Amino acid sequence: MFRKRKKNTSLRIEVREVLRGCEAGRLQSVGYMQVIPLVSDLNDDRFVSPVQCDADVYTTRYGTLGFRNPSDSVMIVPCHAGYVVKQHAQDHAMAHAGVVAAAGDRRYNTAACIQASQGGFIKKGSYRMLILPHALREHALRKRGEKNYQKLWEDISVFNQRFGVTSQGHLEYFLQAFKKELDEFVAEFECVPRQIGAIVLIDDRVVGIERAPSHAYWQSIWPSLIRECYGSLAIEAAKANGDRPPERSPRLSLPVEIASLEELESLIAEIASQEDERARSTVRELLDEPLDLQHEETVADVSIDTATSEHFTGQVIREGEKIVYASLPATSAFVKSQEWTRAEPFAI
Amino acid sequence: MQNLIATQVDDRKQAFVLTETQRELLPLAFGSFLDSVATATGRGTFYNSREEQAAAVEAAHRDLFDIDRDVYTAALMLPGVTDYSRQIGVRRLLQATRDGGILPAEFEAVAITCLVRGLPTQRMLKLFGMLRRDRVNNARTRRLILSEILGADGLEFWAVKYREKLRVALTHAWGRRMASILRNVLAKSPGDRTEKESKIVRQNVNRFVRDHAVDRVEQCVRFVLGEENDVTLDRLAAYRDAKSDFDRGAVLPPETMEGLRSRFHKDRTSGEVLELTKSQLTTGQRIAVQRKAEQSGVEVKFDPARYDAVRLYVYAFEMGMTDAIRQTLRDKAEAAAARLPVRFERVGVLIDASQSMMGHDTQALRPIATALALRDLLSTTADHAVAITADGRATESYELVEPSGDTSLAAGLVQLLKAEPDVVFVLSDGYENAPSGRFGETVAAVRRIGIQTPIHQFTPVFAAESQGVRTLSDSVIAMPVSKPEAIGFGLLKALIESDVDRGVAALFGMTKVAGYLPAA
């Protein structure tokens, strides 16, 4: 499947390669958001996240974000990891993923400031990690090579305006304005045993595929993914529905006329099985999509590729042929346009 | 089930009078308050940060306090209120000057003393620290701090264990200048003090101390204020001497000796400290240090009977279930069930054993431990009980259930109802996701079928975002419970919602403050 490649060469794979070794777990659904857990017996504990190893994070100049990996394992900095700190310091986020060798220290001068008109550098320390909101990730990835700390300010301003937040270039105002809603997303979805990834849907549309090297890694980054990255999209869906809170009823409802507990029991099982099948078919739809990998760099024997397809754009980290990490948010065009094949509503 | 409350209500004519506004506002505020005080611990949960929890708890306290401070005070005295809730309740009572209330003023003074004495020492001192932080320093507060510290039998032990916290509390009560004066005056023997100095000691120290304990307390105060020379009390002298002689630390609390070891005896190990001081371990420490003791090869005995069922379950999760623990859990469940004036023929218990029942790192396993302790109690109240997890697995009483996975309770509910129980109890944090809303929909379907079996939800987790406990269904009342003994909370909440006057009377009855009601 994979061949040895030189730097800046590209390779085409299919989404099924990213999901290799995974199975779809039971769909979790709350309000506008649905999550299909990806479970697997492949569990590679040689890689850690900045959250797992309590990495020191800092900035040395505007646009330069540093990471010190105190662990004996290779640290994978998730694609578009960011830090909003309670300091007189400019908040920063990565424009791509990163890899820091065991006990290593690495600075990325391609990082972006996400807090315009704030001076100061982030002191070395352990902070809560976020993943940039979904709508900003495509912009960040496109500008991943630019050494310009202001590169996301305009995008953040447009993003804020969409939510009625007026502050220009300040992501923290969005986070503040929607703190309660974002926190609830973390509360609603639970990690399941052996989970190493997820396919995230908003309003039945696929908005991202995420995969981590291990269950522990996944548990450590999931709150950041569900909160800022995909939570922001669910808030947008609520806004599109006139700020109407999503109904607490399931998407596939029980029929009104039920005669007995036995019938009720079989209907619950039947609907669960339909939902399960719908989750599987959603994954199936994705499998054949071609994914172009553009090699970015190789560090500590793992390579970072930028992945683009008709519907997704993100990054993949591989060790040889084995994909250990993938973050593939759907493109904004796809999010807006897709009309995903949906299962027929249950009826008897 | 309301008989549980009714049996505790004083049937005398109630002399307190609630205004119409109070009647209107109390049910909502009281419900939210009970949810908070039964479950809030001041720590983060699986779902909410510490700050979110604190803000929601403060709001719940403020709302009830503003309606009536005596109802608020009585509610703080309910069995099962968390220590954290009592701390912030006492702080609020001390902070606000008394103005109104439906009971006589002396009730509040006695209640505050009761509440403070009910706190474990470290939490009492933490409360005093909160009072200092919030600059609460009126005469009531100063008197409370000084009488509780200086009048305590265990002051010598506290002095070596909580030296800094005591110094902070006493300095807050006396003021820095007076603390400094006292340190100098107490350095003199009573015979060498001037009349003025003796008066200062009498007014600030001795009037809070029983006569025979004056010398002991004066030494402790000197020690707390930083003077170690010439102390003769055994523990105080041991603290001073253990800096040079490790073995003298045998009478010190382990954490105190551990502090001295890390500073003055770096060649000694923590295991040696544990071996040296194991006779000084408190009840709580004996169970908490089991893992460390096992690793260090030190045998620390503890008596399971001295711990509540929730603590024993947390212990069993960490160290493994044993026959002794199982037997103690059985004894406790049977004793608690015997105190409940309700019995059932058939009970169904549905346990949410999803990942979120693990709880936050700072209170790991507490939600599932509470659920399992409740399972045992509820099962014991019935002649025939069926307890299952959400995925339909039967669980035996006094056995562990590891939390993992998503939350889907609907199928489990139907499975239980098929066994035709008198009542179903759902033990869950209220977060459902596979999918959200299915449980509520299922309850509605069950009712449409014509099955009216009561379904109750008991929730061991406070949810900041819903300002109380989180309900699985609009038609099922969620009742907060942090330990089996607090099972009456939910019933009291239901009573106040249906009849405020009777509910408040029940509250005063349950908290044994009925004696403060004027005679009929």
Q: Which of B253, B240, B258 is nearest to B283 (CA)?
A: B253
Rounded to a whole number of angstroms, the distance from the CA of A127 to the nearest CA of chain B is 15
With H, G, I as helix, E, B as strand and everything else as coil, classify residue B231: coil
Q: Which of B111, B109, B113 is nearest to B152 (CA)?
A: B113
Given a cut of 60, whether residue A343 has pLDDT beyond it is no
Nearest neighbour of A261 by CB, restricted to B52, B355, B414? B414
Strand bridging mode B423-427 / B478-480: unpaired
Q: Do B355 and A30 touch (CB under 8 A)?
A: no
Q: Do A192 and B440 touch (CB under 8 A)?
A: no
Q: Do A29 and B451 touch (CB under 8 A)?
A: no
Per-residue confidence at A307, pLDDT binned at 50, 70, 90?
very high
The encoded tokens of residue B151 equal: 């009048």
Q: Do A30 and B436 touch (CB under 8 A)?
A: yes
Hunting for tokens 């008109």 — which residue is that?
A117
A258 touches chain B (CB under 8 A): yes
Asked whether A59 and A110 are in contact (CB, 8 A), the reply is no
In the sheet with A47-48, reading across from the earlier edge strand, the strands are A47-48, A74-77, A98-100
In a domain, A347, yes or no: no
Asked whether B388 and B412 are in contact (CB, 8 A), the reply is yes
Residues in CB range of B492: below 8 A, 6 or more apart:
B5, B34, B78, B503, B506, B507, B510
With H, G, I as helix, E, B as strand and everything else as coil, classify residue A342: coil
How many CA atoms does the CB half-sphere of B471 hold within 13 Å? 16
With H, G, I as helix, E, B as strand and everything else as coil, classify residue B329: helix
In a domain, A332, yes or no: yes
pLDDT at B286: 84
A101 touches chain B (CB under 8 A): no
The encoded tokens of residue A288 equal: 């054949």
Q: Do A250 and B436 touch (CB under 8 A)?
A: yes
Strand bridging mode A81-83 / A129-131: antiparallel
Nearest neighbour of B436 by CB, restricted to A188, A258, A262? A188
Count Cβ–Cβ pairs < 8 Å, chain A vs chain B: 101
Q: Do B404 and A193 touch (CB under 8 A)?
A: yes
In a domain, A16, yes or no: yes
Q: H-helix or E-strand containing B290?
A: helix B290-296
| Arithmetic mean of pLDDT, A139-163 | 95
Q: Do A29 and B49 touch (CB under 8 A)?
A: no
Average pLDDT, 10 consecutive residues per value, chain B (520 residues): 39 62 88 80 63 81 91 86 91 87 78 91 95 94 95 93 95 95 92 94 92 89 91 93 93 92 92 89 82 82 87 92 94 84 84 88 84 93 92 91 90 95 92 90 95 90 64 84 73 74 78 46
ipTM of the complex: 0.81
User: CA B444, CA B433: separation in Å to the nearest integer?
Assistant: 18
Given a cut of 70, whether residue A160 has pLDDT beyond it is yes
User: CA B414, CA B157: separation in Å to the nearest integer?
Assistant: 56
CA–CA distances in Å: residue B519 to residues A76, B15, B24, B505, B511: 72, 8, 26, 14, 18
Q: Best interface-test mutation with A: which of B47, B436, B472 has the largest number of A CBs within 10 A?
A: B436
What residue spans in chain B does CATH classification 3.40.50.410 cover? 343-486
In a domain, A348, yes or no: no
The number of helices, as runs of H, and strands, as runs of E, in chain A is 9, 20
Q: H-helix or E-strand containing B38?
A: helix B20-39
User: CA A84, CA B452: separation in Å to the nearest integer?
Assistant: 51
Rounded to a whole number of angstroms, the distance from the CA of B447 to the nearest CA of chain A is 10
Rounded to a whole number of angstroms, the distance from the CA of B492 to the nearest CA of chain A is 28
The encoded tokens of residue A74 equal: 């290779």
CATH of domain B343-486: 3.40.50.410
User: CA A133, CA A226: separation in Å to the nearest integer?
Assistant: 10
Which residues of chain A are within 8 Å of residue B417 when distances are taken between CB atoms?
A: 261
Which residues of chain B are within 8 Å of residue A264 when distances are taken between CB atoms?
A: 414, 442, 445-446, 449
Q: Best interface-test mutation with A: which of B417, B428, B438 has the largest number of A CBs within 10 A?
A: B438
Closest chain A residue by Cα to residue B359: A187
Residues in CB range of B247: below 8 A, 6 or more apart:
B276
CA–CA distances in Å: residue B370 to residues B41, B314, B485, B515: 14, 9, 11, 33
Rounded to a whole number of angstroms, the distance from the CA of A35 to the nearest CA of chain B is 10
Residue A304, number of CB atoms within 10 A of its CB: 22
User: CA B431, CA A188: separation in Å to the nearest integer?
Assistant: 6
A120-150 residue pLDDT tens: 999 999 999 999 999 999 999 999 999 999 9
Q: Do B404 and A26 touch (CB under 8 A)?
A: no
> Domain residues for A94?
10-337
Q: Do B435 and A184 touch (CB under 8 A)?
A: no
Runs of H (alpha helix) within B302-437: 309-319, 323-339, 366-380, 410-417
In a domain, A117, yes or no: yes
Closest chain B residue by Cα to residue A276: B434
User: CA B28, CA B15: separation in Å to the nearest integer?
Assistant: 23
pLDDT at A187: 74
Q: Do A259 and B417 touch (CB under 8 A)?
A: no
Q: Do A261 and B436 touch (CB under 8 A)?
A: no
Rounded to a whole number of angstroms, the distance from the CA of A338 to the nearest CA of chain B is 24
Percent of chain A surpassing pLDDT 90: 65
User: CA B316, CA B325: separation in Å to the nearest integer?
Assistant: 8
Q: Do B49 and A187 touch (CB under 8 A)?
A: no
pLDDT at B360: 73
More confident residue, A168 or A154: A154
Interface of B with A (CB under 8 A): 46-49, 52, 354-356, 404-408, 410-411, 414-415, 417-418, 431, 433-438, 440-442, 445-446, 448-449, 451, 463, 465
| Arithmetic mean of pLDDT, A341-345 | 39
Most confident of A110-119, A181-190, B19-28: A110-119
User: CA A263, CA A284: separation in Å to the nearest integer?
Assistant: 31
Q: Best interface-test mutation with B: which of A175, A195, A248, A263 has the largest number of B CBs within 10 A?
A: A248
Strand bridging mode A56-61 / A64-68: antiparallel
Nearest neighbour of B436 by CB, restricted to A26, A29, A256? A29
The encoded tokens of residue B139 equal: 């005469």
